[in-house]
Amino acid sequence: MQNKLFIDGKFVDAAAGGTIEVLNPYDGALITAIAAAEAADVDRAVAAAQRAFPAWSRMAAADRGHLLLKLADRIEANAEELAQLETLDTGHPIRDTRGLDVPRTAACFRYFGGMADKLLGSVIPVEAGFLNYVQRAPIGVVGQIVPWNFPLMFTSWKMGPALAAGNTVVIKPSELTPLSTLRIAELMAEVGFPDGVVNVVPGYGHTAGQRLAEHPDVGKIAFTGSTATGRRIVEASKGNLKRVQLELGGKGANIVFEDANLDAAVNGAAWAIFHNQGQACIAGSRLMLHDRIADEFLERFTRLANSIRLGDPRSPDTEMGPLTSAQHRDKVLSYVQIATEQGGRVLAGGKAPDGALSAGYFVAPTVVEAKPQDRVAQEEVFGPFVTVLRFGSDEEAVAIANATDYGLGSGLWTRDLARAHKVADAIRAGMCWINCYKRVNPGSPFGGMGQSGYGREMGFEAMHDYTEAKSVWVNV
């Protein structure tokens, strides 16, 4: 298991010698201590990425793509080991890391590997006597800061498009979950990525992250994390006016109309909030129910929530693991009290399970009914905690759905497709799922409106976000 920084193709200690303890969220046991990057280490990593940039950006796009394709193959060849590592570090159930995180990571690298030589420029029809063409030029050194909820998958979402487009990368995983990113760096070295093209600097946000965001030689910072940290990133990036891409928090409205297929909607709503212990920016954390079906829906939904199997994430039977840290577990549980103080009703869960699971950072699947203006209907809880809201008309549903600062994921369940398209059009969110929830694909743009951030990951949108348009005029 790698526990050092990865700079210029080598695993190295942090200059100041600091370390961070990485804990197993299932039982709080120490997994390993990793080197903690500080500003001087980030400077070294950025310098290495700068040195690597000219050759990497001039390499034939198809050759860059080929390396990403080889990486995808190598990830699949090491799938079981990566799944185990991610489960150990994050607490995600092994059935998910095997079935979703690892395959999605390989698929995303493969998608961008194929995309590398398909990012076309254009020729603009201008006045006679001149030829004008537009190229997509890489930005240079890109800094990437990611959170702890899907650390393995985010290596591909962040690095795939950046590298395919010809940038070099310094990535800072969360201090809580650095292990899979370091393993990916090792696999990249094995398949032949040149030294310095990718550098990994695990460390704390206020030291390593802050330095990366403010570094004068970093051309773009791509950040996934909380809205509060996103504001700090914008502030820190101002010095050299670097490009900024922000994937921030969410408070997804998942709307069930009275004509929905209730079996599908109950299962879909549980997936929307409880997958990954609710630690997903796109989680359907506001479950909005039409008055006419609300009681029946809740009866079925709470029964399902109470039946979810919590346990050791390494067991294939486990459906829900622990949250990723003790501090985060405490934050999620604090929202139960916040909800009840404002008149909310706890319909399921609302506490940590006791007995064998009490050493881990578990929270029982929690269902709370509240009002649209309550804190639990406005603030991101980021755990297995769903806030139920009732509505009586389509107009009211849209008004409630849009009444937060966020605008990331959303969903709706109805048999009436005309209604579905009308409501999808009216919801202010970067993604809307109709009769499904939380579908992602490397080709489909992913990102938020409002205070959920700006810029898009995935697809051509991501390739554009990692390049600059360069207009060339020729006097012919």
- Shortest reach from residue 447's CB to ligand NAD, in Å: 7
Which of 171, 188 has the CB closer to ligand NAD?
171
Among 369, 380, 394, 465, binds ligand NAD (CB under 6 A): 380
Among 65, 138, 249, 372, binds ligand NAD (CB under 6 A): 249
Tokens representing 241 are 């006016």
Q: Which of residues 171-230 bind ligand NAD (CB under 6 A)?
A: 172, 174-175, 204-206, 209-210, 213, 224-226, 229
Among 26, 56, 274, 382, binds ligand NAD (CB under 6 A): 382
Which of 6, 148 has the CB closer to ligand NAD?
148
Kindly state the number of chain residues that form the binding site for ligand NAD, as judged by CB under 6 A. Answer: 31
Q: Which of residues 260-289 bind ligand NAD (CB under 6 A)?
A: 281
Mark the segment that binds ligand NAD (CB under 6 A) among 60-68, 106-114, 170-178, 237-245. Answer: 170-178
Q: Which of residues 35-74 bind ligand NAD (CB under 6 A)?
A: none
Angle at 233 between CA 231 and CA 236, to 5 degrees: 115
Q: Which of residues 423-452 bind ligand NAD (CB under 6 A)?
A: 448, 452
Which of 361, 382 has the CB closer to ligand NAD?
382
Q: Are 52 and 197 in contact (CB under 8 A)?
A: yes
Nearest 5°: phi and psi at 199? -130, 140
Which of 224, 414 has the CB closer to ligand NAD?
224
Instruction: Name the helix (H) or strand (E) containing 56.
Output: helix 39-58
Beta-bridged to residue 243, according to DSSP, are: 220
Which is the catalytic residue, given 38, 86, 175, 247?
247
- Shortest reach from residue 262's CB to ligand NAD, in Å: 29
- Shortest reach from residue 231's CB to ligand NAD, in Å: 9
Which of 205, 349 has the CB closer to ligand NAD?
205
Which of 159, 281 has the CB closer to ligand NAD?
281
Which is the catalytic residue, given 108, 281, 432, 457?
281
- Shortest reach from residue 462's CB to ligand NAD, in Å: 12
| Site track 333-372 with ligand NAD (rule: CB under 6 A), x = hit | ----------------------------------------
Q: Are 367 and 387 in contact (CB under 8 A)?
A: no
432 is catalytic: no
Q: Which of residues 70-129 bind ligand NAD (CB under 6 A)?
A: none
Tokens representing 180 are 């899979």
Instruction: Name the helix (H) or strand (E) containing 87.
Output: helix 79-90
Nearest 5°: phi and psi at 72? -60, -45
Which of 298, 427 has the CB closer to ligand NAD?
427
Mark the segment that binds ligand NAD (CB under 6 A) among 96-104, 243-251, 310-318, 334-342. Answer: 243-251
Tokens representing 444 are 């489909």
Pairing of strands 286-290, 253-256: parallel
Strand, helix or coil for residue 23: strand
Q: How far is CA 230 from CA 114, 147, 235, 327, 332, in A?
A: 31, 12, 9, 20, 21
Q: Are 245 and 455 in contact (CB under 8 A)?
A: yes
Tokens representing 58 are 């001039």
Q: Please report where in the chains the tokens 């570094």 appear, as a residue.
A: 215
Which of 78, 279 has the CB closer to ligand NAD?
279
Cα separation, 84 vs 82, whole angstroms = 5
- Shortest reach from residue 209's CB to ligand NAD, in Å: 2
- Shortest reach from residue 406's CB to ligand NAD, in Å: 9
Q: Are 457 and 161 in contact (CB under 8 A)?
A: yes
For residue 311, state whether it binds ligand NAD (rule: CB under 6 A).
Answer: no
- Shortest reach from residue 452's CB to ligand NAD, in Å: 6
- Shortest reach from residue 396's CB to ligand NAD, in Å: 26
- Shortest reach from residue 137's CB to ligand NAD, in Å: 26
235 is catalytic: no
Q: What distance lies between CA 401 and its chain's CA centroid? A: 22
Tokens representing 319 are 């459906």
Strand, helix or coil for residue 160: helix
Q: What distance lies between CA 379 and its chain's CA centroid? A: 18
Nearest 5°: phi and psi at 322? -80, 165
Q: How far is CA 353 from CA 8, 83, 335, 348, in A?
A: 45, 25, 16, 12
| Site track 135-154 with ligand NAD (rule: CB under 6 A), x = hit | ----------xxxxx-----
Which of 213, 293 has the CB closer to ligand NAD?
213
Tokens representing 420 are 């579905």
Q: How far is CA 179 from CA 124, 156, 174, 323, 474, in A?
A: 47, 15, 10, 17, 50
Q: Are 395 and 413 in contact (CB under 8 A)?
A: no
Where do contacts with ligand NAD occur on this chain (CB under 6 A)? 145-149, 172, 174-175, 204-206, 209-210, 213, 224-226, 229, 232-233, 247-250, 281, 380, 382, 408, 448, 452-453
Q: Which residues are catalytic?
A: 247, 281
